[in-house]
Chains A and B, each alone.
Chain A
Amino acid sequence: MRKVLAHQLVWPTTALAVLLLVNVIATPTFFDIRMQDGHLYGSLIDILRNGAPVLLVALGMTLVIATRGIDLSVGAVAAISGAVACVYIAGSPEQGAASTAIVACSIALAVCVGLGLWNGFLVSVLGIQPIIATLVLMTAGRGLAMLVTDGQITTVNNDAFKRIGAGFVLTVPLSIVIALGVFCLAALVTRRTALGMLIESVGINPEASRLAGVRSRTIIWTVYVFGAFCAGVAGLMIASNTSAADANSAGLWIELDAILAVVIGGTSLAGGRFSLSGMLVGALFITTLATTIPTIGIPAETNYLFKAVVVIVVCLIQSPKARAALWVRRTAPLAGRATA
């Protein structure tokens, strides 16, 4: 029992389960899933579909945080990605063609990789603190996205592009298939090869790792590029979901949701260790929380408060110290009896 309770996944999973339970109590049909126009339809499907961008961004963030870094620019990168893709499609002579969508997405992702290289350069080569280095792109990036869209909401009409965020493959939302695909690939590469351990060693001590023969600089650079790539894919999903690039609000605060997902999942912001499965639960938790608010009818005026309270509670039960304080008080008489 103690072993189970000590596992890092227990508390986030419990929190997620409790949240789902609250939804079922408020809306008994919450778990209902039916077929609609040839695809699955239901609240849980919405959570998976809307959770895909957060999951992707959090995936990149997990690896960045594991190297003792942080990437605040992911929301802006997501906005740029959506903006570049939509502006390309809108300006193309064959707006509806699938090939247009493919070229648009490729250009957008290439731009994002470029932005990731920039972040990685600032952090690994120039040695600027990650929070400052990525803050540059966080603030400037949204302006860049607005420059691309000319400050307009660019609406596009392209079925292939629409499928990324709002489409389905074999009755399952395509977005979550993409997100889980990237997730599995990342898990495989980091956990089945030495890369995960190398990332962790860089997070613990970059200089010592370098002296031990680990190419710290390359590894740090790589995680920022990967983070920006993930954010770019997330940005395509967000834009595709409404078939429009909204430079101002696309991916707004997604970096904070992602950091929260990483932290809830048990990855330490101090770097040196990471949990991808924990992050997965954390990302689902954040999305479920967003769905819970309109489902159980929290008034608009208090929804931020509700969110804050839930997050604080989850963080508290995650903390061994806070838990110990609660635990000791509650179980003290029981423990006394056992020893007697």
Chain B
Amino acid sequence: MLKKTLIAVSAIPLTTLALTSCGSDSAAGGTDDDGTITMGFAQVGAESGWRTANTKSIQETAEAEGIDLKFSDAQQKQENQIKAIRSYIQQKVDIIAFSPVVETGWDTVLLEAKRAGIPVILTDRAVDSEDTSLYETFLGSDFVLEGEKAGEWLVENAAEADVDGDGDVNVVELQGTTGAAPAIDRKTGFESAIAADDSISIGASQTGDFTRDGGKKVMEAFLKSEDGIDVVFAHNDDMGLGAIEAIEAAGLTPGKDVKIITIDAVKDGMAALAEGKISFIVECNPLLGPQLMDLAKKVLAGEEVPERVVTEETTFTQEQAKEVLPERQY
């Protein structure tokens, strides 16, 4: 037993050495003997349609490119994700990619990966760490920018968004999971954008955990405790869809009596946008698979990759949603 452990321990620095010393011809060092790349991917969960599309994109691209993908679902819990990453380190995968559930608390496990010589790519969500050498690159959306886009649209359409005509636009915010990067950044971006117009203010803000059920329950409470809600800003489509149900149950018409702005643009959300229930959606592109596999290959080949890769994203109004809805994949 002791002997085995010793061998295992001594093997780690050896692989590290092999990886770091390989440089240009690291195709041999970065991959298994049979030449295929093994990637460990620790997904957040399947909390929304967006996430499912993200998972699918990664799995399908990996299969198409012949990359051996080890996939795990953390069910929105950091400890599950840390466990998954540790097991990938033990299995000696070639590269680890993951979407951190929350922003903090990753230093230890990332350091373990670094010591084992396994490069790490962050997808979709960032980590809050001083030491940027712990990961190779971060591929994902700019959540602050998404929040800003949502806020800018509201500022441009402030007159129209003031549905009760009292001169003030009262916004209620449905936040994502507390502590998650998209929740923090979208809130920040939105707040900074609406600061341009004094008539817009956030009356209430609470987490709906990115789920329909959460969005519905929080919105039910807001409709009773807040007077004159003009706009709902939901951090994802699913909470917005939950809010629609709560608004309809209150006898109001979503899109007319209350304007809804969401982020993501999944199919169900786009359908609601085309129907006029949602007023504006900022896209958050989940199809990261091709870009991720491309980056993984570059990293393993020892090529330089930029520290931050932003995915291409757009926004949708109701008219645009009607046009693109038929060929929406997710």
A interface residues, Cβ below 8 angstroms from B: 26-27, 29-30, 32, 36-37, 41-43, 46, 50, 142, 146, 151-153, 155, 166, 238, 241-244, 246-250, 290-291, 293-301, 303
CB < 8 Å A-B pair total: 104
Chain A residue at minimum C-beta to C-beta distance from B246: A46
13 additional A-B residue pairs with CB within 8 Å, beyond A46-B224, A248-B76: A151-B55, A152-B49, A153-B49, A155-B268, A242-B213, A249-B209, A249-B214, A294-B206, A294-B222, A294-B225, A296-B225, A300-B175, A303-B178
Neighbour of A153 across the interface among B52, B207, B209, B214, CB < 8 A: B52
Residues of A within 8 A of B238 (CB): 153
B221 touches A166 (CB 8 A): no
Residues of A within 8 A of B268 (CB): 153, 155
B216 touches A242 (CB 8 A): yes
B245 touches A242 (CB 8 A): yes
Residues of A within 8 A of B225 (CB): 26-27, 30, 294-297
Contacts A27-B224, A146-B46 given; does A37 touch B213 at CB 8 Å: no
A248 touches B45 (CB 8 A): yes
A242 touches B250 (CB 8 A): no
B47: CB under 8 A from chain A?
yes
A50 touches B46 (CB 8 A): no
Q: What sequence of 0s and 1s flags, for each residue 201-228 of chain B, a beta carbon within 8 Å of any chain A beta carbon?
A: 0001111010111101110111011000
B73: CB under 8 A from chain A?
yes
Interface residue total, chain B, C-beta cutoff 8 A: 38
Residues of A within 8 A of B220 (CB): 46, 50, 291
B310: CB under 8 A from chain A?
no
- A249→B49 CA distance, assembly (Å): 13
A295 touches B178 (CB 8 A): no
Residues of A within 8 A of B222 (CB): 294
- A30→B226 CA distance, assembly (Å): 11
Q: What sequence of 0s and 1s flags, for each residue 89-101 of chain B, a beta carbon within 8 Å of any chain A beta carbon?
A: 0000000000000
Between A and B, 5 residue pairs with Cβ closer than 8 Å are A46-B224, A50-B220, A153-B52, A242-B212, A242-B245
Residues of A within 8 A of B217 (CB): 46, 50, 290-291, 294
Neighbour of B221 across the interface among A246, A248, A291, CB < 8 A: A291
Neighbour of B213 across the interface among A142, A238, A301, A303, CB < 8 A: A238
- A238→B216 CA distance, assembly (Å): 11
Neighbour of A250 across the interface among B213, B218, B241, B251, CB < 8 A: B213
Residues of B within 8 A of A295 (CB): 221, 224-225
A249 touches B55 (CB 8 A): no
B242: CB under 8 A from chain A?
yes
Chain B residue at minimum C-beta to C-beta distance from A150: B52
- A42→B250 CA distance, assembly (Å): 9
Interface centre among A43, A151, A243, A298 (most CB of B within 10 A): A151
B249 touches A166 (CB 8 A): yes
Neighbour of B207 across the interface among A152, A166, A300, CB < 8 A: A300
Residues of B within 8 A of A300 (CB): 175, 178, 205-207
Chain A residue at minimum C-beta to C-beta distance from B222: A294
Q: What sequence of 0s and 1s flags, for each residue 144-187 of chain B, a beta carbon within 8 Å of any chain A beta carbon?
A: 00000000000000000000000000000001001100000000
B104: CB under 8 A from chain A?
no
B311: CB under 8 A from chain A?
no
Residues of A within 8 A of B224 (CB): 27, 29-30, 32, 42-43, 46, 295
**What are the 5 A-B residue pairs with the smallest beta carbon separation, nearest first?**
A294-B221, A300-B207, A242-B212, A294-B206, A151-B46
B75: CB under 8 A from chain A?
yes
- A30→B221 CA distance, assembly (Å): 10
- Nearest-neighbour CB distance to chain A for B227, whole angstroms, equals 9
- Nearest-neighbour CB distance to chain A for B79, whole angstroms, equals 13
B36: CB under 8 A from chain A?
no
Residues of A within 8 A of B204 (CB): 294, 297
Residues of B within 8 A of A41 (CB): 249-251
Residues of B within 8 A of A27 (CB): 224-225
Residues of A within 8 A of B178 (CB): 300-301, 303
- Nearest-neighbour CB distance to chain B for A306, whole angstroms, equals 12
B218 touches A294 (CB 8 A): yes
- Nearest-neighbour CB distance to chain A for B69, whole angstroms, equals 15
B253: CB under 8 A from chain A?
no
- A338→B207 CA distance, assembly (Å): 53
B48: CB under 8 A from chain A?
yes
Residues of B within 8 A of A166 (CB): 245, 249
- A273→B3 CA distance, assembly (Å): 55
B47 touches A249 (CB 8 A): yes
B221 touches A142 (CB 8 A): no
- A109→B76 CA distance, assembly (Å): 27
A248 touches B46 (CB 8 A): yes
A146 touches B73 (CB 8 A): yes
- A249→B216 CA distance, assembly (Å): 14
Chain B residue at minimum C-beta to C-beta distance from A155: B268
- A50→B217 CA distance, assembly (Å): 8
B55 touches A246 (CB 8 A): no
B207 touches A43 (CB 8 A): no
- A290→B224 CA distance, assembly (Å): 14
- Nearest-neighbour CB distance to chain B for A85, whole angstroms, equals 15
Chain B residue at minimum C-beta to C-beta distance from A243: B245
Q: What sequence of 0s and 1s flags, for each residue 19-62 of chain B, a beta carbon within 8 Å of any chain A beta carbon?
A: 00000000000000000000000000111110010010000000
- A26→B209 CA distance, assembly (Å): 24
Contacts A43-B224, A294-B222 given; does A36 touch B213 at CB 8 Å: no
Residues of B within 8 A of A26 (CB): 225
B75 touches A248 (CB 8 A): yes
- A295→B249 CA distance, assembly (Å): 18
- Nearest-neighbour CB distance to chain B for A103, whole angstroms, equals 24
A248 touches B47 (CB 8 A): yes
A244 touches B212 (CB 8 A): yes
B207 touches A303 (CB 8 A): yes
- A297→B218 CA distance, assembly (Å): 11
Residues of B within 8 A of A242 (CB): 212-213, 216, 241-242, 245
Chain A residue at minimum C-beta to C-beta distance from B203: A297
Residues of B within 8 A of A46 (CB): 217, 220-221, 224
Neighbour of B52 across the interface among A142, A151, A243, A294, CB < 8 A: A151
